[in-house]
Chains A and B, each alone.
Chain A
Amino acid sequence: GAVVSQHPSRVICKSGTSVKIECRSLDFQATTMFWYRQFPKQSLMLMATSNEGSKATYEQGVEKDKFLINHASLTLSTLTVTSAHPEDSSFYICSAETTGGSIQYFGAGTRLSVL
């Protein structure tokens, strides 16, 4: 079945540095991918919709300059957390939707810890 790969699974960085997270659809083309953030013991919050070949669409309250999204190909979307601070520490999950929108496949997530 369809698989979404997310890398890295865990990253620890110093405050002020930038971190890039990759999300790949392995056996299907995804014109649209999604980035979520999940706080401990809480549900997923959609951060942005990544559109292949165009600008991402951000949800209200999400800083587009802090969370840079690039979707340069039909199988790869990246999320870059710029100038990371401890409050950016979280679990980030990407997903890709099948054609027709009936199924969404999720990556395994990236645990970001900013020191």
Chain B
Amino acid sequence: AQSVTQPDIHITVSEGASLELRCNYSYGATPYLFWYVQSPGQGLQLLLKYFSGDTLVQGIKGFEAEFKRSQSSFNLRKPSVHWSDAAEYFCAVGARASKSTFGDGTTLTVKP
């Protein structure tokens, strides 16, 4: 069975500081891995995805994520956080986008 763990329920960072959101997964083969962002009262927007190739994936809004097979991790990073990045972030894993299992999410708060 596939599963996703986002260990951090809530993270607070100062504007301009770097950010790393953790994601650990369990999956039998090489999965699709996704990071989505959700603003309050909105649907999910895809930040980036990984299936194969370069393990460092670049996404939108300056985000990147690194796939580490040995650690079963797909952590999301951003070098300098902006106030508009405050939102809920979801990691997902699956055989395809629609068959993904979502993590419980990490709420990001950005301090001025």
| Contacts from A to B (Cβ < 8 Å) | 4, 6, 9, 32, 34, 41-44, 49, 91, 93, 95, 97-98, 100-109, 111
Looking at the assembled complex, report how far the CB atom of A59 sits from the nearest CB atom of chain B, in whole angstroms.
Answer: 11
Closest to A106 in B: B43
Tell me which residues from 51 to 85 in chain B have a Cβ below 8 Å from any Cβ of chain A.
51
Q: Is the CB of A43 within 8 A of B90?
A: yes
Q: Given A102-B51, A103-B49: A43 and B97 within 8 A (CB)?
A: no
| Contacts from B to A (Cβ < 8 Å) | 32, 36, 41-46, 49, 51, 90, 95-100, 102-105, 107
Q: Is the CB of A6 within 8 A of B43?
A: yes
Q: Is the CB of B103 within 8 A of A43?
A: yes
A-B contact count (CB 8 A): 59
Q: Is the CB of A109 within 8 A of B43?
A: yes
Q: Which chain A positions have C-beta within 8 A of B42?
A: 108-109
Closest to A102 in B: B97
Looking at the assembled complex, report how far the CB atom of A92 sits from the nearest CB atom of chain B, in whole angstroms.
Answer: 10
Q: Given A49-B98, A101-B97: A106 and B44 within 8 A (CB)?
A: yes
Looking at the assembled complex, report how far the CB atom of B28 sits from the nearest CB atom of chain A, in whole angstroms.
Answer: 17
Q: Is the CB of B41 within 8 A of A104?
A: no
Q: Is the CB of B100 within 8 A of A104?
A: yes
Q: Given A43-B90, A44-B90, A97-B96: A106 and B45 within 8 A (CB)?
A: yes
Q: Is the CB of A101 within 8 A of B41?
A: no
Q: Given A43-B90, A43-B102, A104-B100: A93 and B43 within 8 A (CB)?
A: yes
Q: Is the CB of B32 within 8 A of A102?
A: yes
Q: Which chain B positions have C-beta within 8 A of A98?
A: 97
- Give CA–CA (A6, B41) in the complex, Å: 12
Query: CB within 8 A of A43: which of B32, B99, B105?
Result: B105
Closest to A10 in B: B41
Query: CB within 8 A of B98: which of A4, A91, A101, A107?
Result: A101
Q: Which chain B positions have C-beta within 8 A of A49?
A: 98
Q: Which chain B positions have C-beta within 8 A of A100?
A: 96
Q: Is the CB of A104 within 8 A of B105?
A: no
Q: Given A101-B98, A103-B97: A44 and B46 within 8 A (CB)?
A: no
